[in-house]
């Protein structure tokens, strides 16, 4: 199961000594971390930051059939599974792995097993395990090599549907496992042009399965698959291509509720009748995305959440045609993990806000105040000091000439009048969205270091409609970089922000954005910090894992096309690195299957060959981001030390 990069790549870590303030910093190894050109953090930083990183967050995983709640939270080094029997009850830990548990679903039958996903050293080759919650014993039921996703239980707990890429390492096929016998059979084979196939829901009688084909954020399909014949029916096949997302079976198995943007610029909750072959919108026509749906086990009630500019609103409807009403009483924040309890109408939700870590609530759609089941610890800190951001907007550089009029951003401000040094945080994806959830490092930067944090949702971000998310596709890639230039133009208009002290920060695609912004706007910032970032689109597309390559080509462009290849080479930071003259912090997980470690290695080497300064941190037991608490602590200590160093320079 363990897959890591070869020793030849590890050897690349021993690069030339960087220039600048870190001249005397030695390359050193500490556990599974390699520090290259990075001075040690001070004891004061270690202790003060450690308190923030001891803040826990909890998330709903599922309900057990006996009414206990299954959650994911961390009490050691990684997130593991726990059960709770009652509101604010004792959390009993079920799994104890060095690697985090990624997801879990419980069989909806008494004493049924829990299926969970786990990978090794961040390689994302997830395997499915079955856990007996009574004995704590678990067993792997997959091949130990290929990647597995989307485990979904049948209503009787006899079968588990999932997807994997075992056929050729690239294609995603759907399988059904007979849990008792251990036999599995393929029930849907991906077509050559397909994207990620993944099961979503079983019909009540076990005869049909909902399967989504995710080709890109703007191109999805949902199929109803007959398990006896293997035949399938595509929902909304006659409509133009568009994004399609969550789906569940409704009353009698003849209806499907699903989220689609084929008929609108925003994601709608729709209902499809398989007998009449008709679909209709059932959510209100608003200019925001429906983000998650959940239907009760008796299919008499449905709940969904709407992403209203980064904040979640929860709605409820009795089926078939009851009125839509909001579910009030929850704090303002982001909701995820909607789960109805089997045999009940109680709904569990995960709640997260910028000024409060992940908590878990249970509510009854019939009425009454939400009941807290988990209120996460905050490391002994005063939560009243945590800062919530305000929503701001700034004009796009090409406003009025084809671009968006304004770009939204969330602004965290320390107490006082300023002007404050600024961290511009750029999210990844790129089809993601910065939403104000809790961040230990953001709270530390704002409350302890006095930074303002400014998190823009540049064009290409989701959450603002299909047209907005497509504004950076292909040859328009650098239009999103221009939004960072526009943000730098806007910052001087704020008396509370210091235009002379700006640092860029981002990860994954946000890492590319940091590097590209350093190329174009490096003279306007003190430095940049990026993790697992794309440094060259051509080498990225050639070296990312096979199962991701075609899907990423749909976003960035196909490097096999000569004209597109020339464009991608032209805009890639490695080919413009001579223009980066300010210090950089680069962080990478060695086993990253999405953005291979070679992307960071070549950027470090290129910057240093040009005489530039790079601090480089490598996690040998991490992948696309640092998921282990010990490693995150060290990573954020480097971030703080790097920022202190930048502010101390003349």
φ, ψ (nearest 5 deg) of residue 642:
-65, -45
Residue with tokens 């209709």: 280
Q: Which of 419, 489, 501 is nearest to 456 (CA)?
A: 489
- Residue 173 contacts residue 167 (beta carbons within 8 Å): yes
Q: How far is CA 586 from CA 38, 465, 552, 582, 605, in A?
A: 11, 32, 23, 13, 11
- Give the angle subtended at the CA of 10 by the CAs of 5 and 16, to the nearest 5°: 150
In this model, does residue 197 exceed pLDDT 50?
yes
Among 10-24, 250-264, 358-372, 636-650, where is mean pLDDT lowest? Answer: 10-24
In this model, does residue 8 exceed pLDDT 60?
no
Among 102-116, 238-252, 293-307, where is mean pLDDT lowest? Answer: 238-252
Mean pLDDT value of segment 24-33: 85
Give me the DSSP letters along 179-235: TTT--EEEEEPPPTT--EEEEEEE-TTSSEEEEEEEEETTEEEEEEEETTT--EEET
pLDDT digits (tens, 9 = 90+) for 339-361: 999 988 899 999 999 888 999 99
pLDDT band of 5, cuts 50, 70, 90: very low
In this prediction, residue 27 carries a pLDDT of: 92
At a CB cut-off of 8 Å and minimum separation 6, what does 96 contact? 76, 80
Q: How far is CA 576 from CA 15, 214, 413, 564, 599, in A?
A: 20, 34, 33, 17, 14
Mean pLDDT value of segment 538-552: 95
Q: Which of 282, 285, 287 is nearest to 302 (CA)?
A: 282
Q: H-type helices in 522-628, by residue range?
A: 537-543, 546-556, 562-571, 597-609
Residue 458: how many CB atoms within 10 A of its CB? 27
Mean pLDDT value of segment 514-538: 97
Q: Which of 287, 215, 630 is nearest to 465 (CA)?
A: 287
pLDDT digits (tens, 9 = 90+) for 557-612: 999 999 999 999 999 999 999 999 999 999 999 999 999 999 999 999 999 999 99
Give me the DSSP letters along 548-567: HHHHHHHHH--TTSHHHHHH
Residue 115: how many CB atoms within 10 A of its CB? 24
pLDDT band of 401, cuts 50, 70, 90: confident
Cα radius of gyration rounded to whole Å, the chain:
24
Q: Which of 583, 596, 588 is nearest to 525 (CA)?
A: 583
Tokens of 557: 């462009």
Q: Which of 503, 464, 496, 502 is nearest to 480 (CA)?
A: 464
pLDDT digits (tens, 9 = 90+) for 222-270: 999 999 998 999 998 888 888 999 999 998 888 999 999 998 999 999 9
φ, ψ (nearest 5 deg) of residue 309:
65, 30
Tokens of 223: 């199929």
Edge-first strand order for the sheet with 356-363 is 334-340, 347-353, 356-363, 371-374
Tokens of 579: 């223009």
Mean pLDDT value of segment 82-90: 96
Residues 335 and 317: their CA atoms lie apart, in Å, by: 18
φ, ψ (nearest 5 deg) of residue 272:
-115, 130
Distance of CA 102 to the CA centre of its chain: 12
In this model, does residue 19 exceed pLDDT 50?
no
φ, ψ (nearest 5 deg) of residue 78:
-140, 165
pLDDT band of 10, cuts 50, 70, 90: very low
In this prediction, residue 584 carries a pLDDT of: 98
Mean pLDDT value of segment 266-292: 91
pLDDT band of 14, cuts 50, 70, 90: very low
In this prediction, residue 406 carries a pLDDT of: 95
Across the chain, mean pLDDT equals 92
In this prediction, residue 202 carries a pLDDT of: 96
In this model, does residue 324 exceed pLDDT 90?
yes
pTM of the model: 0.93
- Residue 498 contacts residue 422 (beta carbons within 8 Å): yes
Tokens of 650: 């003349």
Among 307-316, 321-330, 628-637, 638-647, where is mean pLDDT lowest? Answer: 321-330
Residues 201 and 293: their CA atoms lie apart, in Å, by: 12
Residues 126 and 418: their CA atoms lie apart, in Å, by: 47
In this model, does residue 385 exceed pLDDT 60?
yes
At a CB cut-off of 8 Å and minimum separation 6, what does 566 contact? none
409: burial class by Cβ within 10 Å (0-12, 13-18, 19+)? buried
In this prediction, residue 650 carries a pLDDT of: 85
pLDDT band of 25, cuts 50, 70, 90: low
Provide the percentage of residues in the chain whose pLDDT is more than 90: 85
Among 100-109, 244-253, 440-449, where is mean pLDDT lowest? Answer: 244-253
pLDDT band of 16, cuts 50, 70, 90: very low
Mean pLDDT value of segment 171-176: 96
Residues 545 and 193: their CA atoms lie apart, in Å, by: 17
DSSP-derived letter for residue 620 is T
Q: SS3 helix, strand, coil % of the chain, rounded to 5?
A: 20, 35, 45
């Amino acid at each position: 199961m363990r897959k890591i990069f070869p020793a030849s790549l590890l050897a690349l870590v021993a690069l030339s000594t960087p220039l600048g303030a870190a001249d005397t910093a030695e390359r050193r190894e500490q556990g599974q971390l390699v520090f290259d050109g990075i001075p040690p953090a001070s004891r004061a930083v270690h202790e003060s930051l450690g308190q923030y990183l001891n803040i826990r967050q909890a998330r709903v995983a599922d309900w057990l059939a006996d009414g206990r709640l299954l959650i994911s939270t961390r009490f050691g080094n990684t997130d593991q599974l726990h059960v709770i029997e009652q509101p604010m009850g004792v959390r009993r830990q079920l799994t104890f792995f060095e690697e985090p548990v990624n997801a879990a679903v419980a069989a909806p039958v008494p004493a049924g097993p829990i299926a969970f996903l786990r990978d090794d050293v961040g390689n994302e080759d997830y395997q499915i395990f079955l856990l007996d919650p009574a004995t704590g014993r678990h067993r792997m039921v997959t091949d130990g090599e290929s990647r597995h996703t989307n485990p979904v239980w049948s209503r009787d707990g006899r079968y588990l549907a999932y997807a994997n890429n075992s056929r050729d390492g690239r294609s995603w096929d759907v399988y059904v496992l007979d849990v008792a016998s251990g036999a599995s059979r393929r029930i849907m084979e991906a077509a050559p042009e397909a994207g990620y196939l993944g099961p979503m829901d079983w019909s009540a009688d076990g005869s049909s399965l909902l399967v989504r084909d995710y080709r890109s954020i703007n191109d999805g399909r949902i199929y109803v698959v007959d398990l006896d014949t293997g035949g399938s029916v595509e929902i909304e096949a006659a409509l133009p291509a568009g994004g399609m997302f969550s789906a569940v079976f409704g009353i009698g198995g003849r209806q499907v509720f699903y989220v689609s943007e084929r008929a609108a610029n925003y994601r709608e909750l729709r209902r499809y009748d398989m007998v009449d072959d008709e679909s209709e919108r059932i959510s209100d026509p608003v200019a925001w995305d429906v983000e998650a749906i959940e239907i009760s086990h008796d299919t008499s009630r449905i709940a969904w959440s709407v992403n209203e500019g980064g904040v979640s609103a929860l709605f409820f409807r009795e089926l078939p045609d009851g009125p839509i009403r909001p579910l009030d009483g929850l704090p303002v924040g982001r909701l995820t993990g909607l789960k109805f309890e089997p045999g009940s109408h109680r709904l569990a939700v995960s709640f997260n806000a910028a000024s409060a870590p992940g908590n878990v609530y249970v509510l009854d759609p019939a009425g009454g105040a939400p009941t807290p089941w988990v209120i996460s610890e905050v490391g002994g800190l005063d939560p009243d000091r945590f800062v919530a951001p305000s929503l701001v907007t700034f004009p796009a550089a090409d406003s009025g000439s084809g671009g968006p009029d304004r770009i939204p951003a969330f602004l965290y401000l320390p107490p006082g009048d300023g002007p404050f040094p600024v961290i511009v945080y750029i999210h990844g994806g790129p089809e993601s969205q910065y939403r104000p959830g809790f961040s230990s490092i953001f709270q530390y930067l704002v409350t302890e270091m006095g930074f303002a944090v400014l998190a823009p949702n540049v064009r290409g971000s989701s959450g603002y409609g299909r047209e907005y998310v497509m504004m950076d596709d292909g040859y328009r890639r650098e239009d999103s970089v221009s939004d960072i230039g526009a943000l730098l133009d806007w910052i001087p208009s704020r008396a509370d922000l210091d235009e002379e002290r700006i640092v860029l920060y981002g990860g994954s695609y946000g890492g590319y954005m940091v590097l590209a912004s350093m190329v174009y706007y490096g003279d306007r910032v003190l430095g940049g910090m990026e993790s697992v970032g794309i440094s060259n689109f051509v080498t990225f597309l050639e070296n990312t894992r096979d199962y991701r390559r075609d899907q990423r080509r749909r976003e960035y462009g196909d490097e096999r096309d000569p004209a597109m290849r020339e464009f991608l080479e032209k805009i890639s930071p490695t080919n413009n690195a001579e223009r980066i003259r300010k210090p950089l912090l680069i962080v990478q997980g060695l086993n990253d299957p999405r953005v291979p470690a070679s992307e960071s290695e070549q950027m470090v080497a290129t910057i240093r060959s040009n005489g530039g300064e790079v601090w480089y941190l490598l996690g040998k037991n991490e992948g696309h981001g640092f998921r282990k608490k010990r490693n995150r602590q060290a990573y954020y200590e480097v971030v703080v030390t790097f920022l202190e160093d930048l502010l101390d320079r003349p």
